[in-house]
Copies of this chain bind each other. A is one copy, B any other.
Amino acid sequence: MPTLTQFRLCPFSRSIRMLLGELRREVTLLDERPWEWRAEFLRLNPAGELPVMRLDGGEVLCGAYAISEYLAEEVAAVQEGGEGRNPVLPGNRLERAEVRRLVDWFHRKLHLEATDALLEEKVISRLRGSGGTAPDAGNLRAVRANLKYHLGYLDHLASQRRWLAGEEVTYADFAAAAHVSCADYLGEIDWSTLGAARGWYARVKSRPSVRAILAERVPGAPTPPIHYSDPDF
C-alpha cells in the first residue's frame, strides 16, 4: 500500500488526505515532525517538508503541488476515452486555471499570512519544547487580522458559487478546508460573523473524506472547540 508521510495539523498534508479520501485511495499514514529534521526524512524529501507520498513501486512524490497534480493526471489517464469527471481538477482548461488560482491563494497566500504563524505559535513551538515561550501578542494580532481578511474572501467566493471554484467540488475546496480546519482546531474562527462561508464549510465537513480527519485529536496541541468536528455547527 502507498504511504503518506504527514503531520496531523499540517494543512498541506490534510489537503492531500482529503483528496485521497475523495478518490477512495487507501494509504498508510506515517507521522512526521518535520521540524526535527530527521536524517531519514530528509533523504526522502531534501526540502524537509510535508506531505510525502511513496507509491507501491517505491517512487516518491514530494509536496502537495506534485502530489495533487500527479493524482489529477492519474485520474485523467484512467478516464481517457471513458466517462466521468475528474474530482481533483475538473472542467476545461480555463476552469482548471481558476481552481489553481485558488489553490495557490490558500496554500501559499493564506498559509504565509495566517496559518503558518498560528500553527507555529500555538502548536509547533509547544511540541518543539522550545521552553514554553508565550505567543507573541503583537504578531498574533496581525495574523488574526490577516485571517479575518481571508475568511472574508472565502465568504465572498461562497456567496457566489456552490463550491469555491464553481459548481463542482475541486481541490480548491480541500486546500481551503485544510487551512480553515487547522485554524478552527485552534479556536481562531468566529463563525457567528460568517454566512456563506459557514454554509460552504458545513457542506465540506459532511464529506466522509473530511470527517475522518476532523475526528482526530493531536497530542500536545490545544483542545479544539466543541463545534470543531460537528458538521451541524
Of A25-33, A56-64, A185-193, the segment with at least 4 beta carbons within 8 Å of chain B is: A56-64
Determine whether A77 belongs to the interface, using a CB cutoff of 8 Å to chain B. Answer: yes
Determine whether A218 belongs to the interface, using a CB cutoff of 8 Å to chain B. Answer: no
Q: List 12 A-B contacts (CB under 8 A).
A: A47-B101, A47-B104, A47-B109, A49-B109, A61-B101, A63-B100, A63-B101, A65-B100, A65-B103, A67-B97, A69-B69, A70-B93
Least CB distance from A192 to B in Å reads: 25
Once A47-B109, A109-B47, A153-B46 are accepted as A-B contacts, the answer to whether A59 and B94 lie under 8 Å apart by CB is yes
Distance, CA A94 to CA B66, complexed state (A)? 9
Among all A-B residue pairs, the 9 with the closest Cβ atoms? A66-B100, A66-B97, A62-B101, A65-B104, A66-B101, A70-B97, A63-B104, A61-B97, A73-B93
Determine whether A105 belongs to the interface, using a CB cutoff of 8 Å to chain B. Answer: yes
**Which residues, 19 to 63 on A, are CB-close (under 8 Å) to B?**
46-47, 49, 59, 61-63
**A: which residues have CB within 8 A of B?**
46-47, 49, 59, 61-63, 65-67, 69-70, 73-74, 77, 93-94, 96-98, 100-101, 103-105, 108-109, 112, 153
Distance, CA A21 to CA B65, complexed state (A)? 24
The binding surface of chain A is classed by DSSP as helix
Least CB distance from A158 to B in Å reads: 15
- List B contacts of A69 (CB < 8 A): 69, 96-97, 100
- List B contacts of A74 (CB < 8 A): 93
- List B contacts of A77 (CB < 8 A): 93
Return the chain B residue nearest A69 by Cβ.
B100
- List B contacts of A153 (CB < 8 A): 46
Return the chain B residue nearest A116 by Cβ.
B112
- List B contacts of A46 (CB < 8 A): 153
The answer to whether A73 touches B101 (Cβ under 8 A) is no
Return the chain B residue nearest A74 by Cβ.
B93
- List B contacts of A98 (CB < 8 A): 66
- List B contacts of A93 (CB < 8 A): 70, 73-74, 77
